[in-house]
């Protein structure tokens, strides 16, 4: 029985590695291929349309330029802050995300020719009685991490005496104002106008006098990817010359660049949302399940191994186990994910694919928890069992395998089930590194249609369904183990 389980585990492990490496295989095409990051919750510049295609002013421009200049690319959607950090850390080749060209950023990035003039506005909740910036004194203002809007607010913060709070996603930031937790926000004008058009209950306070935020540009890491930057600039020139650029901008913003007039409305009933976003929900669900299943299997193997080390007769092996458990149980999952995905590649010099980084993160973290209860479970097997086995002449290894492990595993079953459920929920944190699992799927849909309540309710129900199935499966396995 144990042998069979090990064989199955090894087979799954090999299958995993194959899937991961295959899905990251580089385009065999002759054309140069780039990885380009974007902030896909930034309509009308970067977002997913109802067919879950990446669209928007930026992404349509990029698509057209790539076609004309003969390169291909993979788009990676994540928060603006992570999107820029990935390029700064050489994990991706370029970033297009309504990114303002600032002197500070020029220290780290090389920018394309500016392609869109933007401005920052401040907005309050519709019906709020705040009329001027000076009334923000002592109040909290919601900002988006690492953006020009946030920089502007920070610049005037001491003058007006407000407090600030940071978000990674424009939509969550807006809703903090709508719900009354913060009283105002700062954001690029076309983006907040788009959301208001979609029914967001905010009011722009300086519509006729935007704060200057300069121009947006496409960026690569300073000194790197010169060919890509040149191609972008050439392509941009060409689409500006023949009117394609204007056509794209107009299709999203209508005649005046300051007001969004494009069509935005989805069918926003729950059924309508399910129907229009069916593919996105299913894809997100599959990604979540893939991450969960792989992480559960690998973390269990790793955790059992580490747990067994923890009860070894050799002192230093126990020390290794304790230290590894201590480190990875102590680190917040998101810190670990950022460290592996964004931090590590700058040191080791190779890219770590997001999916792999996500799996490693989960295995290290969940594996440490597993190891802790595995160690505890074995320790809970009555001491006399080992003594009896040894006195019957069984060597330590065999006594462990035949006597202690089977009994210990039975004690641990409820802890395993618990850990499986936690693993499933923890996959949502990996949305931070751009994995398009259920949570990130929800973020992208809400970014487009501002239907936070309904979309998050749908996502919540989907998680509950999977958790229920997982619990049933675990209970079934538990029953079989008892027999």
- Pick 213 or 386: Cβ nearer ligand GLN: 213
Q: Tokens representing 479? A: 């029953």
User: Minimum CB separation from ligand GLN for residue 333, in Å?
Assistant: 24
Residues in a beta bridge with 163? 140
Q: Report the distance separating Cα 433 and Cα 334, nearest Å.
A: 9
Stretch that binds ligand GLN, among 98-106, 177-185, 328-336, 343-351 (CB under 6 A): 98-106
Does 218 help bind ligand GLN (rule: CB under 6 A)? no
Rg (CA), the chain: 26
In this chain, which stretch among 8-16, 141-149, 245-253, 272-280 interacts with ligand GLN, using CB under 6 A? Answer: 141-149
With respect to ligand GLN, which residue has the nearer C-beta, 65 or 150?
Answer: 150
Alpha-carbon 11 to chain mean position: 29
* Piece of 143-151, 175-183, 203-211, 279-287 that binds ligand GLN (CB under 6 A): 143-151
Binding segment (CB under 6 A) for ligand GLN, from list 12-20, 97-105, 159-167, 350-358: 97-105
Taking the complex as a whole, the smallest distance from the CB of residue 274 to ligand GLN amounts, in Å, to 28
58 binds ligand GLN (CB under 6 A): no
Asked if residues 427 and 437 have their Cβ atoms less than 8 Å apart, the reply is yes
- Which distant-in-sequence residues (6+ apart) come within 8 Å of 87 by Cβ? 37, 93, 94, 95, 109, 219, 220, 221
- CA dist 188 and 42 (Å) reads 10
- In degrees, rounded to 5, the angle at the alpha carbon of residue 188 between the alpha carbons of residues 183 and 192 is 60
Q: Read out DSSP for 273-289?
A: HHHHTHHHHHHHHHHHH
Whether the link from the prior residue into 44 is cis, omega within 30° of 0, is yes
Helix, strand, or coil here: 211?
strand
Residues of span 72-91 touching ligand GLN by CB under 6 A:
80
Part in contact with ligand GLN (CB under 6 A); list of ranges 7-15, 95-103, 309-317, 343-351: 95-103
Q: In the complex with ligand GLN, which residue's Cβ is closer, 123 or 291?
A: 123
Indicate whether 229 belongs to the interface with ligand GLN (CB under 6 A): no
Taking CB under 6 A as the criterion, which residues in 19-48 touch ligand GLN? 39, 42
144 binds ligand GLN (CB under 6 A): yes
Q: Does 94 bind ligand GLN (CB under 6 A)?
A: no
Q: Quick one: 49 or 379, whose CB is closer to ligand GLN?
A: 49
169: contact with ligand GLN by CB under 6 A: no
Site stretch for ligand GLN (CB under 6 A), options 17-25, 65-73, 93-101, 423-431: 93-101
148 belongs to the binding site for ligand GLN (CB under 6 A): yes
Query: Quick one: 148 or 400, whose CB is closer to ligand GLN?
Result: 148
100 lines the binding site for ligand GLN (CB under 6 A): yes
Using DSSP, state whether 124 is helix, strand or coil. strand
Strand partners, 72: 33
- Near ligand GLN by CB under 6 A, which window of 20-28, 140-148, 351-359, 417-425? 140-148
- Tell me the site size for ligand GLN, rule CB under 6 A: 12
Contact 447, 54 (CB under 8 A): no
Cβ 460 to ligand GLN, closest distance in Å? 26
The DSSP bridge partners found for residue 188 are 120
Q: Given the complex with ligand GLN, which of 98 and 452 has the nearer CB atom?
A: 98
Q: CB 299 → ligand GLN: shortest distance, Å?
A: 34
98 makes contact with ligand GLN (CB under 6 A): yes
C-alpha–C-alpha distance, residues 137 and 132, integer Å:
10
Residues 6+ apart with CB under 8 A from 447: 40, 41, 42, 43, 47, 48, 169, 170, 171
> Nearer to ligand GLN by C-beta: 100 or 198?
100
Does position 97 interact with ligand GLN (CB under 6 A)? The reply is yes
For residues 290 and 464, what is the distance between their CA atoms, to the nearest angstrom?
16
Between 77 and 301, whose beta carbon lies closer to ligand GLN? 77
Q: Is the torsion defined by CA of 182, 187, 189, 192 positive or negative? A: negative
Please tell me whether the peptide bond between 357 and the residue prior to it is cis, using omega within 30 degrees of 0.
no
Pairing mode of beta strands 47-48, 54-55: antiparallel
Q: Which of 219, 236 has the CB closer to ligand GLN?
A: 219
Q: d(Cα 169, Cα 191) in Å, to the nearest integer?
A: 12
Binding region for ligand GLN (CB under 6 A):
39, 42, 80, 97-100, 118, 144, 147-148, 188
């Amino acid at each position: 029985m144990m042998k069979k389980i090990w064989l199955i585990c090894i087979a799954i492990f090999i299958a995993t590695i194959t899937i991961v490496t295959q899905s990251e295989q580089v385009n065999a095409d002759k054309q140069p291929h780039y990885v380009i990051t974007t902030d896909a919750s930034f309509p009308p510049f970067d977002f997913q349309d109802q067919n879950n295609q990446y669209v928007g002013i930026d992404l349509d421009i990029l698509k057209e330029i790539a076609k004309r200049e003969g390169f291909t690319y993979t788009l990676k959607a994540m928060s603006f802050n992570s999107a820029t950090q990935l390029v700064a850390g050489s994990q991706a080749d370029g970033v297009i995300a309504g990114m303002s060209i600032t002197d500070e950023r020029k220290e780290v990035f090389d920018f394309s020719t500016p392609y869109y003039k933007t401005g920052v506005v401040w907005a309050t909740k519709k019906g709020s009685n705040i009329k001027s910036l000076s009334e923000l004194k002592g109040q909290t203002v919601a900002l988006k991490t690492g953006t020009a809007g946030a920089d502007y607010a920070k610049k005037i913060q001491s003058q007006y005496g407000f407090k600030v709070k940071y978000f990674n996603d424009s939509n969550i930031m807006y809703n903090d104002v709508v719900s009354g937790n913060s009283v105002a926000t700062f954001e690029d004008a076309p983006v907040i106008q788009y959301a208001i058009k979609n029914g967001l209950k905010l009011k722009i306070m300086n519509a006729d006098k935007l704060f200057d935020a300069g121009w947006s540009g496409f960026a690569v890491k300073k000194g790197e990817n010169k060919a890509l930057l040149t191609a972008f600039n050439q392509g941009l020139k060409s689409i500006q010359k023949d009117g394609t650029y204007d056509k794209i901008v107009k299709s999203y913003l209508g005649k005046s660049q300051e007001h969004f007039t494009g069509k935005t409305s989805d069918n926003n009933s729950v059924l309508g949302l399910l129907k229009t976003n069916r593919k996105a929900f299913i894809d997100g669900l599959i990604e979540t399940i893939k991450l969960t299943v792989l992480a559960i299997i690998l973390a269990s193997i790793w955790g059992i191994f580490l747990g067994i080390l923890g009860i070894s007769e050799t002192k230093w092996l126990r020390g290794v186990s304790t230290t590894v458990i201590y480190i990875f149980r102590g680190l917040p999952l998101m810190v670990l994910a950022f460290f592996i995905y964004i931090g590590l590649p700058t040191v080791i010099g190779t890219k770590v694919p997001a999916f792999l980084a996500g799996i490693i993160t989960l295995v290290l973290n969940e594996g440490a928890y597993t190891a802790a209860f595995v160690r505890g479970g074995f320790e809970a097997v009555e001491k006399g069992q080992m003594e009896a086995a040894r006195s019957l002449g069984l060597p330590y290894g065999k006594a462990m395998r035949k006597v202690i492990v089977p009994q210990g595993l039975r004690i641990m079953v409820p802890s395993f089930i618990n850990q499986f459920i936690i693993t499933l929920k923890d996959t949502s944190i990996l949305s931070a590194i751009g994995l398009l699992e259920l949570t990130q799927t929800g973020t992208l849909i809400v970014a487009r249609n501002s239907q936070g309540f309904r979309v998050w309710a749908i996502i919540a129900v989907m998680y509950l369904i999977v958790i229920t199935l997982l619990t049933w499966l675990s209970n079934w396995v538990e029953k079989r183990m008892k027999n």
